[in-house]
Amino acid sequence: MKKLLYISLLILPVYMFASGGEEASKGTDIIPRTINFLIFAGILYYLAANQIKAFFTGRRTSIANRLNSIQEKLKDSAKEKVEAKELIKKANIEAKSILETFEIETKILKAKVDENLELDMENLEKGYEDQASIEKRKMTRAVILEVLDDVFAKDSLSLKKDELLDIVMKKVA
C-alpha cells in the first residue's frame, strides 16, 4: 500500500504540471518546477534516508574500528620494541659475562699449558741426563774391557793392583 502511495506521489506532480504549452507563453514556470523538485527530493529523502544513514553510520563505525585496531597494533609494537630493547640489554650483559669467562678460562688454560710444558722440559732433561749417564757407563765398561783385554793379552806383563788401577783411571779419564 505504501508503495502505491509513493508511486502516486511521484507521478501526481507530473500530471498536475503537465500542460499543452499555453502556459509557456504567459511567463516562466519556475514555481511549479521548484515545487515539483521539492516534492521529488522529499520523496527521495523519505525512501532513501534510512539506507543512506545506515551506510554512513556503518562506514563511520568501520573506520573507527580500523583506527582502533591500528592503535592497538601500534601499542603492541611499542611494547614489543621495549621488550626487544630489554632482550638486547640482557644479551649485551650476557655477552660481557661470556667474554670475561673466556678471558679467565684462557688464562687458566695458558697457565696449565705452561705448567705442562715445564714438566715436559724437566722430564726431557731428566731423560737426557739418564741417557747420558747410561752412555757414560757403557763407555766406561767398554774402556775397562778393552784395557783388560790388552792386559790379559800380554801374559808376560805382570802388574800389581795399584798399577792396574792407575792404568784404568787414565783410560777412563
- Tell me the pLDDT of the chain (173 aa) as tens digits: 777 777 777 777 666 666 555 555 566 788 989 999 999 999 988 888 899 899 999 999 999 999 999 999 999 999 999 999 999 999 999 999 999 999 999 999 999 999 999 999 999 999 999 999 999 888 888 888 887 777 666 654 566 677 767 777 777 66
Q: How many domains does the chain have?
A: 1
Residue 164: Cβ within 10 Å count: 13
Q: How far is CA 86 from CA 90, 92, 94, 122, in A?
A: 6, 10, 12, 54
CB 146 within 8 A of CB 170: no
The boundaries of the domain holding residue 71 are 2-172
Give residue for cell 507530473.
14
